[in-house]
Amino acid sequence: MNNFDLTYRPDTYWPESLTPEQRLSRIRGKQRQDIARRLYAEHGFSALNEFLVREGLADEERTAWGAMGPWCLGGEFLPELDDGEVEIARISLASTTSDQISFRARPDGDAIRYRIVDEYEDEGTHYELSCDTSERPLSLNELMVVLENASQPGCAYPGGVLSSLWAMMADFYDDDEEIIGFVSMSSAFYPGIEECYREMACQWLARLEEGEDVA
């Protein structure tokens, strides 16, 4: 039985009181966020220091933190959140620098506006969404559809945000777990998003193995 509900829809992306997970999701650095989450689970908020919970780091702090290893820099180069903006889903890559992709929402009048950003905007990368607004929060299914219909102009691999990554990995690996495991997903608003991701990935691989067009 699937451990996720595709029809699940958050009541809001801006609750009056944030959950601990929603507070921690504002930390842009993946490693700092993971450490903070682990310490919170074991000891509560009192175990967290100001460095860990800061949304972003100053240049000199980022340099010092990155000296621990290139994986420490994952997420540290994501753009700052705009006013009122929240991250509703995070895509993490098992690359050397632990690259991160952030799916974000912000209020826009009576609507909600979405954007997808990564750590390479200064190099000209951007994502085009076929649907970038909605009147209410997305269901889990709608969120995954938006991701799969989003495109990155100039990308060497066809497909949406997720399938283009699977196609890239399929060029280098034959093992299904290496292809699927290169990407992971998390969200402070959508329980079960990682299980949903893996189900989608398995379905994509099955179509690929059957010789179907997966572009």
pLDDT score for 211: 82
Distances from the Cα of 172 to the Cαs of 26, 184, 197, in angstroms? Answer: 33, 18, 21
CB burial class (10 A; 0-12, 13-18, 19+) of residue 194?
Answer: middle
| 3-state DSSP assignment of residue 112 | strand
pLDDT score for 7: 97
Q: Which one, of 30, 164, 28, 4, lies nearest residue 104 by Cα?
A: 28
Per-residue pLDDT of the chain (215 residues; tens, 9 = 90+): 477 999 999 999 999 999 999 999 999 999 999 999 999 999 999 999 999 999 999 999 999 999 999 999 999 999 999 999 999 999 999 999 999 999 999 999 999 999 999 998 766 578 999 899 999 999 999 999 999 999 888 788 888 999 999 999 999 998 999 999 999 999 999 999 999 999 999 999 999 988 877 76
Element (H, E) at 107: strand 100-108
pLDDT score for 140: 97
Q: Which one, of 13, 1, 46, lies nearest residue 190 by Cα?
A: 13
The domain spans of the chain are: 20-209
- In whole angstroms, what is the distance from residue 165 CA to residue 132 CA? 21
Tokens at residue 199, please?
Answer: 């189900």
pLDDT score for 1: 47
- In whole angstroms, what is the distance from residue 207 CA to residue 92 CA? 24
* 44: number of Cβ within 10 Å: 10
